[in-house]
Amino acid sequence: MEELKKLAAMEAVKRVKDGMVVGLGTGSTAKYAIIEIGKMVREGMEIVGIATSLESERIAKEAGIKLADINDYDAIDITIDGADEVDAHLNLIKGGGGALLREKMVASCTRKEVIIVDERKMVTRFSFPLPVEVVKFGWKRTADKLASLNFNPQLRHGFVTDNGNYILDCHYEAMEDYRKLHDEINSIVGVVENGLFIDMADEVIVGTNDGVKKIKAEGRKNE
């Protein structure tokens, strides 16, 4: 599957142009994109990167990419990031790597959000446990409230986010009405953000055994 991840990443970086502000995603697939962008920089391309995690920041620095703070720019031209699952409407579950808050903040400021995955991540219905970032104080009480939404929240033991918070991985039998559920989760006191990314992906690039598949958001031509 690593080759399929690389395949998707190599296709995605073709969208990066000189002078762009580029969001740098987090995870095993996004890592390949960061490394390739680093090669492009060493060959003369000038871009500025906005990292979505401390780990991506580390990889980008090693790759020689100039980094900036998200506060330094009004908008990000393109972000290349991964996902844990992608449904047929290009909704996403993200947060398996624990960077969902910064990933969502960067995505919300991005003109073009490109998601790169291998073919296993494409699903008809979500099943990946939904990551929810919560503050440490009273996290058990926050978990109780998430349970009232028909989740079975499990603390991600030994893990603290870059923001100093916990992750509750919320298991479920089924999720319906993602937008409503997203808002219900985020209305719980103690929740910082959740891993449902709804209508945020502009394009999904899938590495498959038959090559690259490119899927654009509804209303745009698929390739």
How far is residue 130's CA from residue 113's CA, in Å, rounded to a whole number?
Answer: 20
Backbone dihedral angles phi then psi of residue 69, each to the nearest 5 degrees: -85, 145
How far is residue 203's CA from residue 215's CA, in Å, rounded to a whole number?
Answer: 6
User: Which among 174, 197, 173 has a CA at the least distance from the CA of 99?
Assistant: 197
β-pair partners for 211: 208
Instruction: Tell me the two tokens of residue 193.
Output: 């953000």
How far is residue 213's CA from residue 206's CA, in Å, rounded to a whole number?
Answer: 5
Question: Crossing angle, helix 28-42 and helix 2-12, to 10 degrees?
Answer: 50
Catalytic residue positions, numbered = 103
How far is residue 29's CA from residue 91's CA, in Å, rounded to a whole number?
Answer: 18
